[in-house]
Amino acid sequence: MPTRGLLAAMAGATASLNFRTHRWALVAYGVGLAIAPAGLLAYLVSHHALVAAFDDVIRFTGARYRSIQGLPFGSGATRLNLPLKFLFPFLALFTLLICARDWRGSLRDPMLPLCVAFGLAGFVGCFPRPDLVHIAFAAPLALPLLAFCIRGVTEGRGSAARYTAAAIVIAVFAPAAVRLASNALGASSPETASTPRGDVAFLGRTAIPELLRRIAATPAEDGYFFYPYMPMLPFLAAREHVSNYDIFTPGYTLPSQYRDACLSATRSASWVVIDRNWTDPKTLKQVWPNILDAQPPETRRFEQALDNAFELVAREGSFELRHRRAGGDQTDCEGITGE
């Protein structure tokens, strides 16, 4: 996630915050951080796309994305990964206790601000969707602080204390590690299916290989529209996705974007592929509990327009393959925005 990477980069700068002794190191670090963003900015300016990029990446995401992503902290935790849910609160308490015991010594330790900065970067990086998946992504940033806290507790207490602390950490995380190893072994030799892009494993989605075979049997020049959330499928099928938009989520996708996608589909697509898993309101509310309406008017009008313009040819699992109806037009697209 770019935001988490930026936070980690900013945390790394705390290692050189003493400008008197680390002046050139801090300058070099800052220059290194600035190279990629400066190159990206120069590219956008040279293509006269800076304003559009700001609107799409910053303004639109801030206004639409965050509002539907909220979840309780640690949502989705199971018995095996429960320690991750409490990792950040535990480290915060652990750090405060160590500093309270010897606050002068802790403040003089140059490793403390660096470890705390990385821990904060990981914690903030969990949001705006702090479920167990995103906490797991951010957890490695907190591990230096965990090591610092363990050192603070065991320092001066002999090897027995260090071994005891190591045993406790191993015992806490061993079930999750065993599960991860089992998943890794299962993924190392999965059953694969042939696609135009090579052999691919579709873990848990057994209907996709047959769907791809049906797509491969259609004329190569036919355009496709994939709805609502399968950005990889056009690539794997080696077919053109006719719309500028490949992810549609109620509350996130604008009515105008639904309308533009509808016009693209009815003008240029001969076929439509729909994954009904991601149009089911129950599924949408489970994934995004903060969605106020899982089927707002623009979504209902858009899906009705697709139904009117494309008839069902085949159903594979949750996927529908639809073909353009004779005489289909773009009339239904005009009313999607409700104007």
Minimal CA–CA distance to 137: which of 126, 128, 129? 126
Q: 227: alpha, beta or left, given left = phi > 0 and alpha = psi -120 to 50?
A: beta
pLDDT interval class at 128 (50, 70, 90): confident
Q: What is the dihedral of CA 252, 256, 261, 266, to 10 degrees?
A: 140
Q: What are the start and end residues of each CATH 3.40.50 domain in the chain?
A: 194-335
Minimal CA–CA distance to 132: which of 73, 215, 173, 63? 73
Residue 18 predicted with pLDDT over 70: no
Residue 238 predicted with pLDDT over 70: yes
Distance CA 24, CA 265 (A): 56
Residue 190 has what pLDDT? 75
| Domain boundaries 194-335, CATH class | alpha beta
Residue 303 has what pLDDT? 95
Q: Highest-confidence range of 70-74, 191-195, 233-237, 287-291, by mean pLDDT? A: 233-237
